[in-house]
Amino acid sequence: MTEAKPILHSIAGSRSFRVLWLLCELGVDVDLQPYQITDGSLQQDAFKVLSPARRVPALEIDGITLIESGATVQYLCETRMGHSLMPAVGDPERAEWLQWIHYSETLGVAIQNLNMQHLFLPDPAMRSIPVMGIETKRLAIALKALEARLADGRDFLLASGFSSADVMMGFTVTAASHYVHFDAFPRLVAYQDRLAERPAYRQAQQMEGPQQFYTRDFYELPQG
């Protein structure tokens, strides 16, 4: 019996990029089902059945649908063999790998809050400039910890080399650069460049098309 091709429900420039990039790293063929963040397409009944929180990514694979990017990345690493993108249970790097996989959501949630304030509120008068300031500082502090992680000359989050933790983090660091100046984070700048050079990263970008979130390179805090 031939296996059904996975379907990735995605928005260009969103967390679904993590899953698409990993599928490309693993050489798994996938069909993309694209949505947009503001056109109501996430509210369609058929999508709500797949993703009750109405979020992407949602990956239909192996007869199930996965709706959390970190869990999806772990599942793919555990079920697709012949790669070195995840330290096995018992490996000394396993705990660190788990930590960085999930730490990417410490960044992700802050970015999501800033996206809401900067990009998606229907009226700028609804913004809270103090909240935007606090969230930007919290994001910068979370990035500082990552900069420190790369301080001992390592190219990737794990000493053993590139892993799926970098897939989770790479997209997120790039999104963060729209809100936090990276002058103080030279290692993160080099890290982003290193990740973006990977053939699978470029393949995923090409498949996904232009990101749908940011129309500027940088969003300054509004003056209050």
Ligand X SMILES: N[C@@H](CCC(=O)N[C@@H](CS)C(=O)NCC(=O)O)C(=O)O
Q: Provide the binding-site residues for ligand X, judged by CB under 6 A.
A: 11, 14-15, 37, 42, 54-57, 68-70, 105
- Nearest CB to ligand X, comparing residues 54 and 194: 54
Q: What is the DSSP letter of 125?
A: G
What are the tokens at 223?
A: 């003056």
| Nearest distance in Å: CB 80, ligand X | 19
Nearest-approach distance from CB 70 to ligand X, in angstroms: 6
**Cα three-residue angle 179-185-193, rounded to 5 degrees:** 85
Closer to ligand X at the Cβ: 26 or 56?
Answer: 56
**Residue 153 burial (CB count, 10 A):** 7
Tokens 């990514």 appear where?
57
The span from the CA of 69 to the CA of 95, in Å, is 18
What are the angstrom distances between the C-alpha of 17 and each of 21, 86, 171, 172, 221?
Answer: 6, 18, 7, 10, 26
Nearer to ligand X, 69 or 192 (CB): 69
Residue nearest to ligand X (CB): 55
40: CB partners within 8 A, 6+ apart: none
Dihedral over alpha carbons 64, 102, 57, 221 (to 10 degrees): 170
**Minimal distance in Å, beta carbon 92 to ligand X?**
26
Which residue, 105 or 147, is less far from ligand X as judged by CB? 105
